Structure 1
Amino acid sequence: MRSAALLAACLALARGGAVLAGAAELAVQDAWVRAVPGAEVAAVYLTLRNAGAQPLVIVAVRSPRATGAMIHESAVAAGRATMRPRERLVVPPGETVRLAPGGLHIMLHLAGALTPGETVPLTLELAGGASVTVTAQVRALGAG
């Protein structure tokens, strides 16, 4: 019996169980989406906390409410606002990364209009194949 349990644990590790465990180390809080009437895109903001000992890397975002989703970073340089996509977002071990207006955010290319009060499901895909499901609250323009 003990050998069977040990074998099962070894097989789980061989299939990537150790990598997939990273999803359990990522805490997501305060996820919300800004609803802008008539907009084809919407920004998602949230707070990420890595409770693990290894960096966690978000490599993609998906949502059934969007035809596409990307991690973006907004900045102001020389009085000019810019926004650029990021291929990945690293959450260092033991640290918190905040996605907030004017900085990092997830840009959704909407498949339909958002209504304040509803929720939007998101899947954050991590390097190594793990994923974390998040529910973001839709807030009216000016709220947040």
Structure 2
Amino acid sequence: MHKILILLATFSLSVGMASAQSVVKKAKLKTEAAKPKHAPKTPEQQADHFAQRLTQKLALSTDQSQRVRQLSLVYHQEEQALKAKYGPERKNPAKHQELKAARARFETQLTQVLSADQATKYAQLREEKMQKHGKSKEKLKAKS
């Protein structure tokens, strides 16, 4: 008789614990679903953010900051147009090549606006960002 009572008590406790866990999971799912997804930034917003970031990190002059913003705006508009042209597919080689060419043009024009010291520091910042996101030069060369 004692064994049956012990088994019954153990069973009821385990069922209670299992149901409590499912309630916690449901509550967590509801809060994650309630989080608003951020809207993609417009090219203008991206250009503003980039120019502000570089102005702060590289101590750009007002003229340099305006030129960087304009270059960034043109680049982001071109990037948006290419994404619209090729659609959401990520592994399209033509899209990849055109985006890569646009980025190379942007980088070349940007280095013409920056002084030698600023360009060096920008290259360091870019390298740090690539390492932070797990993209080393070796990985990028292997993909090309």
Taking structure 1 as the reference length, the TM-score comes to: 0.32
Higher strand share: 1
Higher helix share: 2
Using CA pairs below 8 Å that are at least 6 residues apart, which structure has the higher relative contact order?
1
